[in-house]
Amino acid sequence: MLIKRHCWRYHNLAGRLFVDPSQVRPLRPGLQAGPTAAAVVGFLVLVEITSGVLQGYYTPLLTDIARFLGIHDADVNWFEAAQLMVSALVVPVLAKLGDMVGHRRVLLVSTALTAAASWGVAFAPNFWLFLTAWALQGIYVVWLPLEIALIYSRSHQRPDGAALTRKAAGILVAGLEFGVIVGALAGGFIGGALPGRLWLTLMVPAIAVTLCFFVILIGVPESANRTGGRVDTMGLVLLSLALLLITAGLTFMRINGPGTWWAWAAVVLGLATLVPFTRHELGHKDPMVDIRLLRQPSMWPVQLTAFLFGVSVLGAQAPLSTFARTDPGEVGYGLGASSGLVSILIGVYVLGLLVGALLYPVVTKWTTPRITLMAAAFLVAVGYLLFLPFHGSMEQVLVNMVIAGVGSGALVAALPSAAAAAAPLTQTGMATGLTNATKTVGGAFASCIFGIALAGSALGSLTAGSGSTAAPLAGYMLVWAICGVTALVAAVALYFVPRLAFDATLPAP
């Protein structure tokens, strides 16, 4: 998938929700001096470009990777599934550690781990080592939450701190999408220029991430506040177990079909694990996830939006690709597009994401962030619901994807900064990372549902005697309807956010 898991965060009010001021350890004054705000954002943009390269570079090379490892093309799905599970597991933990010991420090550690995994991807001699390295590479998903937390911690004392964070988030996400485009183009070009030397081709992302480590080390200062404390080990174990069971169950359900009883059992057990997790967190002095914070009216709609947004931003691209490649002369629908045209279609969508990310801070100058979030979710809904009547030509599909892309890009930039503005200063990393985790679970849910819907439809078409294994139009209609309706639900949920939430004029928490 070209687009993956992007990130976010949260925090709020009162009494027990705040860490005791005596636990908050500001950095020594000398450490707070350093590069200007613009320079820091510039360095972080380089980090996000690297993140985009990781997300885009490998896509044109997946067939070559499958041939090198001696696996079937369908087994490539395990790469995405493994990385999805690792991302869901480690991001909340690393984001919380960022609040405790410093966002820059955890950003450096996560970048070093991602670099090691990227070198492992380049030189792994067999499928299992490659799968392990590929999965660990998913640690990069924590970069954006840590970056937004770091920026907000240094800007929150300014009257326009929230606005500056929104602007920085838009720039960072634009850099991310630019990196996706550059990575996809570079992967295809370098792979074609170095036939038979896949290891050399796969070294490029590893080199990029290694250089990224030194960019952070040299150019990014530490966040201004740290909470200290200890890791909530029991909360960590329960949350990790719940996320592992849910994402694994959904993944195996997608791969093995809805009749896999043990996949259903894993999902149910994962959901059940959230009950003791919630009870433990409510009774813990320094919880891994502040449940009371998540109940705040400025927080739960953002978390819900992240989950619902994950359905379309992480789940809808594969169905779009297969729909575009389907031959209308054979089954009566589709675009009959070549792989090159599909790449253009995805590229236009990514450009829409980039434009939406850059427009978000501009639009919030004219209206409130709350209204902008609602409008972005509504654009995503309109874009996908337009597929229901308009899907018969490349022009119609392009228009739909541009509309959905602009709304999605705005949400990718908006959710992290909104969460930061809604959260106590000492919990920004936790909130952002948790938002990313909910988005990832939403994407896993969508991949499962969409895979079952299209596979089931395809089976029905085959058994009906059509002679084609392509999913009929009804399967794609269901995908587009789900994406549109979930975006509408997100827009409605955001309506319940307090009117002036996330506003730059509000005092910093």
What would the two tokens of residue 147 be?
């970056």
Confidence (pLDDT) at 2? 44
Do 293 and 424 touch, CB atoms closer than 8 A? Answer: yes
Give pLDDT, residue 276: 95
pLDDT along the chain (509 residues), means of 10: 40 33 40 61 94 90 86 74 82 86 93 97 93 94 90 77 83 92 88 87 96 94 74 86 86 80 92 94 84 85 91 84 83 81 83 92 87 94 96 92 94 84 78 82 82 62 48 85 96 84 49
Q: What are phi and psi of 26, to 5 degrees?
A: -65, 150
Cβ(175)–Cβ(53) below 8 Å? no
The amino acid sitting at 107 is L
For 486-497, b where at least 16 C-beta lie within 10 A, e where not — what string?
Answer: bbbbbbebbeeb
Asked if 226 and 37 count as a contact pair (C-beta separation under 8 A), the reply is: no
Output phi, psi for 228, to 5 deg.
70, -155
Give the pLDDT score at 429.
81
Q: For residue 65, give the nearest of 129, 3, 127, 139 by alpha carbon.
A: 127
How far apart CA 309 and CA 232 sit, in angstroms, is 29
pLDDT at 227: 66
Residues in contact with 246: Cβ distance below 8 Å, sequence separation at least 6, in sequence order: 266, 267, 270, 271, 441, 444
The span from the CA of 277 to the CA of 286, in Å, is 14
Torsion of CA 67, 71, 72, 76, to 10 degrees: -90
SS3 content of the chain, % helix, strand, coil (to 5): 75, 0, 25
Could you give the 3-state DSSP secondary structure of residue 392? coil
Provide the token pair at 256. 């093995």
pTM over 0.75: yes
* Tokens representing residue 361 in the block: 């801070």
Whats the size of the chain, residue-wise? 509
Torsions phi, psi for 226 (to 5 deg): -135, 145
CB 431, CB 400: distance < 8 Å: no
Could you tell me which residues come within 8 angstroms of residue 399 by beta carbon, excluding any fewer than 6 positions away?
A: 386, 390
- In the chain, domain spans: 33-231+288-495, 232-287
DSSP code, position 142: G
H or E element at residue 34: none
Residue 225 has a pLDDT of: 67
Q: Where are the beta strands (DSSP E) in 344-425?
A: none
Distance set, CA 359 to CA 122, 362, 411, 421 (Å): 37, 5, 11, 19
Regarding the domain delimited by 33-231+288-495, which CATH topology (the fold level of the hierarchy) does it fall under? Growth Hormone; Chain: A; (1.20.1250)
